[in-house]
Amino acid sequence: MGLKIETWNIAFRKRGKNLFDREIPFKVIKNGYKGWYADPFLFDYNGETFLFAEFYSYRLRHGIISVSKYDDKKECFSKFKPIIVENYHLSYPVVFEYQNQIYMMPESNETNSLYMYKCKSFPYEWEKLPAVMNGIRLVDTTPYIINDSLYAITLKLKDDDSTKGELLLLKFDGLKFNISEKGVITDDMGIARPGGNFFINDNKLFYPSQNCEGSYGKALNFINLTNFPIQFNISLIDTIYPKDITLLNYKKPEGIHTYNFSDKIEVIDLKYYKNSYYRLMFRLLKGK
C-alpha cells in the first residue's frame, strides 16, 4: 500500500459565452484535512446559486452529500454544510424540479438500489423516499424531463468495476424507474458514463459524459442527443482532457469527470494524487 491516494477538488468560474471556453480560468475550492469534494451540481433557487457535492470523509471512509451557497459580492462559495449522511457511500447529488417539487437523486450503488429524496426545506432538509429501483447497481443517474414525463440515463456497472458498464435509459412511472424499451444505449466506456446535467445549447440537447476507458476520470465529453426519447441517437461533439483545464490557483489536474452550470457559474471536478498522512501514520505505528 503506497502513500499516494486519489483525491478530488471542485473548481468554478463565471459562465462564459461559449459552451466550454478553454481560456477562461477556473478557481479551485481547496479541501480541508478531513476529506475532499467532487461531483458538483448547481441549482438556482430564489435568485441564489447553491452548490451540491459529494464530500468524501476520511473518518467515515465514504461519501456524504453537502451544500454551499455562492456569494455574489465576494465571488466565492460559502463553507460546505453536510445535509444527507447515510451509513453507505453517497455521491453525484443531482438536484431537479419535477411536478413543482424539488428532488435529489444521489448515487447509492452500494445498496443495489436507487433512491430519491424530497426537499422539505431548501437546501438543508431532505426526506428519503422508498427506493425507485432495486436489485441493480447504478451510478451517476441523470434525470431529464420532457412533456411532463421523467426519464433518466444511468450507468449499470459490470463486475463492480467503475471502468466497465452499460448506459441505460430509464422511465419513471410515478413510483419507480423502469428500463425503457430502448434498453442498452452503449457499452463504450469512452462515452457511456454520465457526467452532469442535460442542457440546451444553440437549441440542441446535450449532456456531459465521462471517458473512463482504462482509467476513472480520464476525460470529459460533450454528447449531442437527438430524437429523445424515441431513438436516443448520440454523437460525440467535443472532449475535454485534464491538460485543457486552465486554473487560477492550482497545478494541472490528472483527471476530470463532472461538469455543470447555472445561470451565472460553471463547475467541474479535478482528480489529483496526493500523499496520505493517514497512511504514513499507519505505517509508522505498524513499524513498516
Q: What is the pLDDT of residues 170-228, one digit of tens each?
A: 999 999 999 998 889 999 999 999 999 999 999 999 999 999 998 899 999 999 999 98
Q: What is the mean pLDDT of residues 111-132?
A: 98
Angle at 280 between CA 278 and CA 283, to 5 degrees: 110
Provide the pLDDT for residue 179: 95
Does a cis peptide bond (omega within 30 degrees of 0) precede residue 143?
no
Provide the pLDDT for residue 278: 59
Lowest-confidence range among 36-40, 177-181, 207-211, 282-286?
Answer: 282-286
Q: What total number of domains does the chain contain?
A: 1
pLDDT above 50: residue 288: no
Q: What mean pLDDT is reported for the chain?
A: 92
Any long-range contacts for 26-32 (C-beta under 8 Å, 24+ apart)?
26/245, 26/246, 26/247, 26/248, 26/266, 26/268, 27/76, 27/247, 27/248, 27/249, 28/247, 28/248, 28/249, 28/250, 28/270, 29/77, 31/7
Contacts of residue 223, Cβ cutoff 8 Å, sequence gap at least 6? 191, 206, 207, 208, 209, 234, 235, 236, 237
Q: What percent of the chain has pLDDT over 90?
A: 82
Q: What is the mean pLDDT of residues 72-99?
A: 98
pLDDT-based confidence at residue 250 (cuts at 50, 70, 90) = confident
Provide the pLDDT for residue 1: 45
Provide the pLDDT for residue 232: 85
Task: Enter the C-alpha cell of residue 135.
Answer: 436489485
* Reported pTM: 0.94
| Full domain range(s) for residue 232 | 4-286
pLDDT above 60: residue 285: no
Q: What are phi and psi of 97, to 5 degrees?
A: -105, 130
pLDDT digits over 145-169, tens only?
A: 999 999 999 999 988 777 789 999 9
pLDDT above 70: residue 282: no
CATH code of 218's domain: 2.115.10.20
